[in-house]
Structure 1
Amino acid sequence: MDSVKKILVQNPVIFSLAISTLREKMCVLSRRFGEDAAKSIVVGCPNVVNLGDANVQQKLDVLTNFFGTDDEVKNVLMRQPTLLAYAAERLKGRLNILDGLDMVDKIAWTISLTEEKWDAWYVQQSNE
């Protein structure tokens, strides 16, 4: 019940969505990661149900390009499901830079940094 409460509090717009839309989003995530992981992703990032399928797919493709397999993407999303709330270009840009620093595993917490904090963090990492 806590999961349902969290979804409703964080994403009250969910009440306006058709059941078929919710079911479709769950199917997209379930086919790729399994039902339990899909539920965890939606609970961790309820806004994912508001996103179009193409939008979600684009982000999943970006993550797969960097992490290689659906299992690796699933592991990343289980730790940080809110990655799906960020723009695909932001994900791609930050992953490219992190890849160059050999720090792709840092995406879970660096994605939320403001541009100013990201730039400061990047300069610090580049100087080390």
Structure 2
Amino acid sequence: MSGAGALRERVTFQRKTSDGPTTPGGPTDPFNNPIDGLGNSTGEFRDLFSVKADIREAPGKERIAAGQLESTRLATIRVWAETRTRGVTPADRLVARGAVWNIRSGPVQIDRAGRMLEFTCETGVAT
């Protein structure tokens, strides 16, 4: 990728947040959301910010799980490196192409100058 011309799609990064109060000393996730008795965060995903991106989607794959056909898609998503995008973690997710994408890895710096970051994402599966 050699410039902003390749960033043709818009992606919205989301982070799980909680409006509810946490119990002092109670269990929380890394973003201070309460955790239920099963260890699940009880927060909801909310938009953080939107940026232009280059989405490179791999061919989908299908598998049978619990007697049902599941279809997943993998993609690498490249964005300009900036303070906001450097702060994204695999606990966050993004919305692009009308789907919710779970971040599996990243951000990874992909050029020597540190201008571009890449995320490996998957859609069609539970978080």
Higher relative contact order (CA 8 A, sep 6+): 2
Q: What TM-score, normalized to structure 1?
A: 0.21
Highest CA radius of gyration, 1 or 2? 2
Structure number with higher helix proportion: 1
Structure number with higher strand proportion: 2
Q: What TM-score, normalized to structure 2?
A: 0.21
